[in-house]
Amino acid sequence: MDACNAVEEEVDKILQKFTGIKDHADRVLSDITNHVQSLKEEMDNSPPDHELTAAQVLIMREALSKVRETVQRLAGDHRDIHTTICKLGRAIDRNFDSDFSSVSREDVFSGPEQVQLLNQVVCQHFYRHGMLDIADELAREAGLKSEEGHKEPFTELNNILDSLKQRDLAPALAWASAHRESLEAQNSSLEFKLHRLQFIGLIQEGAARQNEAIQYARTHFSQFVRRHEKEIQNLMGMFLYLPHGVNKSPYNHLLDPNLWSEIYDVFTRDACSLLGLSVDSPLSVCINAGCTALPALLKIKHLMQQRQVAGIWNGKDELPIEIDLGQENRYHSVFACPILRHPSSDSNPPMRLVCGHVISRDALNKLVSSNKQVSIYVQSP
The Cα 88–Cα 17 span in angstroms is 13
Q: What is the 3-state secondary structure (H, E, C) of 91-125?
A: HHHHHCCCCCHHHCCCCCCCCHHHHHHHHHHHHHH
The Cα 259–Cα 292 span in angstroms is 31
Share above pLDDT 90 across residues of the chain, in percent, rounded to a whole number: 6
In 3D space, the residue among 82, 142, 85 whose CA is nearest the CA of residue 118 turns out to be 142
pLDDT in tens, 271-316: 888 877 777 888 888 888 888 888 788 788 777 777 776 665 665 5
In 3D space, the residue among 306, 284, 298, 246 whose CA is nearest the CA of residue 95 turns out to be 298
Secondary structure (DSSP) of 264-309: HHHHHHHHHHHTT--SS-HHHHHHHHHHHHHHHHHHHHHHHHHTT-
In 3D space, the residue among 177, 154, 151, 173 whose CA is nearest the CA of residue 164 turns out to be 173
Identify the pLDDT of residue 195: 92
130, pLDDT greater than 80:
no
The answer to whether the beta carbons of residues 202 and 212 sit under 8 Å apart is yes
The Cα 31–Cα 102 span in angstroms is 57
The Cα 93–Cα 115 span in angstroms is 32
In 3D space, the residue among 373, 340, 372 whose CA is nearest the CA of residue 359 turns out to be 340
Identify the pLDDT of residue 174: 92
The answer to whether the beta carbons of residues 161 and 267 sit under 8 Å apart is yes
The Cα 328–Cα 285 span in angstroms is 10
pLDDT in tens, 211-266: 998 999 999 998 888 889 899 998 898 888 888 888 888 888 888 888 888 898 89
Return phi, psi of residue 336, to 5°. -115, 130
The answer to whether the beta carbons of residues 238 and 203 sit under 8 Å apart is yes
The Cα 381–Cα 352 span in angstroms is 12
The answer to whether the beta carbons of residues 304 and 311 sit under 8 Å apart is no
The Cα 308–Cα 175 span in angstroms is 60
pLDDT in tens, 162-206: 898 888 999 999 999 998 888 888 888 899 999 999 999 888 888
Its pTM stands at: 0.56
The answer to whether the beta carbons of residues 63 and 39 sit under 8 Å apart is yes
337, pLDDT greater than 70:
yes
Over residues 343-359, mean pLDDT: 86
| Other CB atoms within 10 A of residue 45 CB | 8
Identify the pLDDT of residue 377: 47
2, pLDDT greater than 80:
no
Over residues 311-331, mean pLDDT: 70
Query: Can you list the positions of beta strands (E) in the chain?
Result: 350-352, 358-360
Number of H helices, E strands in the chain: 14, 2
